[in-house]
Amino acid sequence: MVKQALSAIVAGAICLPSLSVAAPTSPDGPIYSITPYLWLPNINGTLKYQLPANPGGATSGDVESGPNSYLSHLRFMLMIAGDVSYDDWLLATDLINLDFSSEKSHVNSTEFGGNRISIDTSSNLQTQTTLRGTVWTLVGGRSLLKKEGNTLDAFGGFRYAGIRASSDWQLSAAINGPGPGQSFASSGNVSESVNLWDGIIGVRGRVKLGDRWSMPYYLDVGTGSSEITWQAVLGVTYSFQWGDLGLSYRHLAYDQGTNKLLQNFSFSGPAISGTFRF
């Protein structure tokens, strides 16, 4: 996966544990919350690039990345979530904008008209990928449980991911195809972008652990532009009069299916957050 690619990862709105799980509403009116947070994921997965038409050349190339921590390659970051709840109803959103540069990667296979040829990792002298993107989630839902500090909400909505991936590769030698004159160049670059709109459904809530401690959880699954996308978050929060401080683990996955850019691509890692209510 080479140069420029992927600005993506918003994650199923409704304030995940990195986002907030709204406090019970009051009869006086709606309750609002805003949650800035920092998520530090590893990147894992395969980018399947469709290569430009080239007589005798490869028709596609698979570039694998990960596990990579974006922290050392991060150029830009914006992560924020928010929600509003009134009585048993809620509306929530989550936005992530990221720019990862020069992630270590390797070309693991190429294809010549349906004939796939594997490429050994040791043949990759220097392969790097850049990902840039935005992930935005917007959902609406209803509370199913509010009892002694324990909550459960069901929701539905959509998640958008706009991702641009770019990869530069350098191999020890060109890869020959099964037919005469067929080859995959020893060096080059390729880029591709996708705009994914997926409908999602899920649940979120919290389990009360003590006076000020609780365990927020979140799970969603969806499809649309993606064959499947899903997200899960589990964390722990400490409450103050003004809101919560939280620590959680978050996993966001995408799979577009056969011959599409994102193949079993995921972002996983810890997150810290601060939720302010008003």
Tens of pLDDT, residue by residue over 188-199, are 889 999 999 999
Residue 11 is predicted with a pLDDT of 34
Does residue 13 register a pLDDT over 60? no
**Residue percentage of the chain with pLDDT more than 90:** 50
Does residue 14 register a pLDDT over 50? no
Does residue 3 register a pLDDT over 60? no
pLDDT band at residue 154 under the 50/70/90 scheme: very high
Residue 4 is predicted with a pLDDT of 32
pLDDT band at residue 184 under the 50/70/90 scheme: confident
Does residue 179 register a pLDDT over 80? no
> Which residues have a Cβ under 8 Å from the Cβ of 243 and sit 6 or more positions away?
20, 33, 274, 275, 276, 277
259 contacts 50 by C-beta, under 8 angstroms: yes
Residue 213 is predicted with a pLDDT of 96
Judged by DSSP in three states, 48 sits in: strand
Residue 273: how many CB atoms within 10 A of its CB? 27
Which two structure tokens, joined as six digits, stand for 266?
A: 């995921």
Strands, DSSP E only, in the chain? Answer: 6-7, 31-39, 42-50, 60-69, 74-86, 89-112, 115-118, 128-147, 150-170, 175-176, 183-184, 187-208, 213-224, 228-239, 243-255, 262-277
Does residue 206 register a pLDDT over 70? yes
Does residue 201 register a pLDDT over 90? yes
Tens of pLDDT, residue by residue over 96-141, are 988 877 777 889 888 887 788 888 888 888 888 888 889 999 999 9
Out of 50-59, 212-221, 264-273, which region has the weakest mean confidence (pLDDT)?
50-59
Residue 66 is predicted with a pLDDT of 63
